[in-house]
Structure 1
Amino acid sequence: MASTSTTASSTGSPTPPRANDHRLRGRRWWLEIGWRHLVGVVMVVVCAVPLLYVLSASFNPNGNLTGSNQLFRQFSLANYAELRSAGFGRWAVNSLVVCSVTAVGTVVMGAAAAYAFSRFRFTGRRATLTTLLLLQMFPQMLAFVAIFLVLLTLGDVIPAIGLNTHLGLICVYLGGALGVNTFLMYGFFNTVPRELDEAAKIDGATHAQIFWGIIMRLVTPILTVVGLLSFISTYGDFIIARIVLQRADQLTLAIGLYNWGSDERNAPWGLFAAGAVVAAVPVVLLFLLLQRYIVSGLTAGSVKG
C-alpha cells in the first residue's frame, strides 16, 4: 500500500480534496455569499453619495446646488461662519432644550406607567393596555388641528403652555409619546424577576424605593433606547413644531432650515447644507456614546427569561 501511494504521487495525479475543506468557490460562492457583498456595496454608495453631495454643497461659497455637481470642487468655510449671524445658534439651543426635556420626560413617564402595568393588578389594566396599543396606530400629526385649537384656548388660561411656548410643545410631545413607549417598556419590565420586588419588600422597601433603586437600574438599556428614539423623533419633527411655534426666536432647527430652503429661487442652499451638516452632529454623537447601551439592551432583551 505504501508503494501504491508513492506511485500515485510520483505520477503527478491530483490529490483528492480534504474532507474538512468547506470553503465555497466559484459559482456557488456568488450564489450564497457574493451577491450579499454586491448588495452591500450598492447600498453604501446609495447612502454615501447624498451625504457627500450635501457636504460638498456646504463648502461651496456660491450658495447654489448646481455648482456642487462636481464634488468638492471648491472649499470654503464661509457658509459655516455665516451660521452664527443667521440665527442658527438660537435654533440649535431651542431644539436641544426641547428634545432633551422631552426625552427625559418620556423616559420617566413611560417607565412609571410600564412599572405600574407590569407589577400591579387593577381594574381596567388590560383594557388600558389595549387602548395604548390602538393609539399608537394613529400618528400624532393627524390631530394637528385639535392640538392648535387646544393650545390656543389653553393659552388664554395658562399662557406658559399655550402657543409660541416651548413648554407647550414639550407637553404635546409627551402626550403623543406615552402610548408606544409605555407598551415598549412594559415588555422589558416583565423580564425583570418579581422575586427582586418581594425581597426588597421584605427588607422594608417602598414601591418608590424599589422603582428608583432597583428596577430603573436593571432596565437601563431600554431606557436608553427610548430616550434616544424620543430625542431623534422630536429633533427632526417639523409639522407639530411648525403649528405650535410661530415667533422667530422660538423656532427649532427643523423650522429654521425649512425657512431657508422654502424659497425656490433665492434659497441659500450653501447655508442650508452647512446647517444640515451641523444639525446632524448631535444625533451622531448620541449614537456613538450610547451604542454599547443600545446593543446590550437588544441582546439582553432577547435572552432574558
Structure 2
Amino acid sequence: MADISVATNRRPSRRGRQRRPLEPSPIAYIFYPVLAAAIILPLSWALFGGFKNPNELFTYPPTIWPRSPTLQNFVDIFTRLEFGRYIWNTILVAFFTVLLTLFLGGLAGYALSRWDFQGKEALMIGLLGLQLIPSTVNIVPYYMIMSSLGLLNTLTGLVLIYTATHIPITIWVLKGFFDTVPRALDEAAAIDGCSKWQTFWRVIMPLSLPGLSVAGFLVFVSAWSEFLVPLVIASNKNVAVASVGLFTFFGPEQATSYTSLFAATLITVTPVVIGYLFAQRYIVSGLTAFAEK
C-alpha cells in the first residue's frame, strides 16, 4: 500500500516546450531597408524639392538636400498662383464640417446609446452599411441636389455634402464612447436639476473628449483631402479647395512647375500634421479606449 501511495503521489514531470524566439530571415535585413528607402527617399525628394530652384530639381545625380535653399517657390504659389485662397477655402470647409458633424453625430450617438427602441440594431447596421458606399457612386445625386438647391460652386454645398457623408461613422464612433460613460452620471445630473440637453452638453461631452478627438480628426482629414467631390461640385476658382488647387498645376494654361507643386504640397499637408501633433494625446487615448471596448 505504501508503494501504491508513493506511486500515486508522484506526478510525472512534464517539461513544457520552450518556444524559440522568432529570428528574422537574413532576407528581411535586406528587404526592409530597401522598402524603407523606396518609401522615404521619394517623399524626402518631394519635401525638399519645394526649397530648390527649378534647374536644380532634375540635376544628375539627384540630390535630396538643396544646394542653395530658396523660399521663392512658396512666394510664387501665394502671389502668382493665389494658392492662399485655396488653403483658406479648405480651412473653412474642414472647420465647419467637423463642427456640424460632431454636433449632429453626437446628438444621434447619445440617443442611440441611452435609449432602446425597436429596430435600433437594424439602424446601426444600416449606418455602417452607408460607409461601404463610395463617394463616386453618389457624385451625380450630389450634383443634382446641389444644383436644385442653388449651392453649386459654394462652400456651403461642400460642407453639407461632407457632413452627410461623415455622420454615419461619427455616430458609430461616438456611440461607442458614450456607452462607456455610466448611466448613473445621467441620473445624478437629473437629480441636480439638469435637463437632457444640459446633461449631454455639460456631462457627457466633456467626458467623451477622446472620442470627439478621434471622430473629429477622421472627419477633418477626410474633408481636407477630398478631391472628386469638390472637383465636380465646386470647380470655380473662387471656391476651389487645396486638393483641386494642386490639380491646377497640371493645367494646359501653363507649364508644370514641379518646385512650386512640391511647395504647395508641403503647405497642404502641414495643417494635418500640426493638427495631429496637437491632438495626439487625445487621439491615441481615444483609439485605445475604443479598441478595448
TM-score, normalized by the shorter chain, greater than 0.5 = yes
1:40-119 correspondence runs (5 A): 41-62=33-54, 66-67=58-59, 69-75=62-68, 76-85=70-79, 86-119=81-114
Matched, 1:207 2:196: yes
Q: 1:302 to 1:144 in 2, by over 3 A?
A: closer
1:215-234 correspondence runs (5 A): 215-234=204-223
User: Which residues of structure 2 form unaligned runs of 5+?
Assistant: 1-19
Q: Report the alpha carbon displacement of residue 301 of structure 1 after superposing the two structures with TM.
A: 3.5
For 1:140-183, what per-residue CA distance to the aligned partner results, in whole angstroms no more than 9, with x for missing partners?
2311011111111111xxxxxx1010001100000011112211
Amino acid at match of 2:122: A
Aligned to 2:230: 241
Aligned counterparts of 1:232 and 1:300: Cα–Cα separation in 2:
21
Aligned counterparts of 2:67 and 2:254: Cα–Cα separation in 1:
22
Q: Report the alpha carbon displacement of residue 303 of structure 1 after superposing the two structures with TM.
A: 4.6
Amino acid at match of 2:65: F
Q: Report the alpha carbon displacement of residue 124 of structure 1 after superposing the two structures with TM.
A: 3.3
Q: Report the alpha carbon displacement of residue 42 of structure 1 after superposing the two structures with TM.
A: 4.7
CA contact (8 A) 1:63 1:268 kept: no
CA contact (8 A) 1:57 1:65 kept: yes
Aligned counterparts of 2:52 and 2:291: Cα–Cα separation in 1:
47
Aligned counterparts of 1:174 and 1:124: Cα–Cα separation in 2:
24
CA contact (8 A) 2:97 2:220 kept: yes
Aligned counterparts of 1:265 and 1:146: Cα–Cα separation in 2:
33
Q: Report the alpha carbon displacement of residue 45 of structure 1 after superposing the two structures with TM.
A: 2.7
Aligned to 1:250: 239
Within the candidate set 137, 140, 156, 1:145 is matched to: 140
Aligned counterparts of 2:275 and 2:48: Cα–Cα separation in 1:
24
**Identity in percent:** 32
CA contact (8 A) 1:114 1:182 kept: yes
Deviates more, 1:250-259 or 1:195-204: 195-204
Aligned counterparts of 1:134 and 1:177: Cα–Cα separation in 2:
13
Deviates more, 1:292-301 or 1:217-226: 292-301
Aligned to 1:134: 129
Aligned counterparts of 1:124 and 1:190: Cα–Cα separation in 2:
18
Q: Report the alpha carbon displacement of residue 263 of structure 1 after superposing the two structures with TM.
A: 4.7
Aligned to 2:262: 273
Amino acid at match of 1:242: L
Matched, 1:283 2:277: no
Aligned counterparts of 2:103 and 2:205: Cα–Cα separation in 1:
10
Amino acid at match of 2:170: N
Aligned counterparts of 2:119 and 2:244: Cα–Cα separation in 1:
41
CA contact (8 A) 1:261 1:272 kept: no
Within the candidate set 158, 163, 171, 1:182 is matched to: 171
Aligned counterparts of 1:288 and 1:47: Cα–Cα separation in 2:
22
RMSD, aligned CA: 2.7
Aligned counterparts of 1:72 and 1:165: Cα–Cα separation in 2:
41
User: Which residues of structure 1 form unaligned runs of 5+?
Assistant: 1-27, 156-161
Q: 1:206 to 1:73 in 2, by over 3 A?
A: closer
SS at match of 1:164: coil
CA contact (8 A) 1:63 1:269 kept: no
Amino acid at match of 1:152: S
CA contact (8 A) 1:64 1:269 kept: no
Aligned counterparts of 2:55 and 2:217: Cα–Cα separation in 1:
33
CA contact (8 A) 2:102 2:215 kept: yes
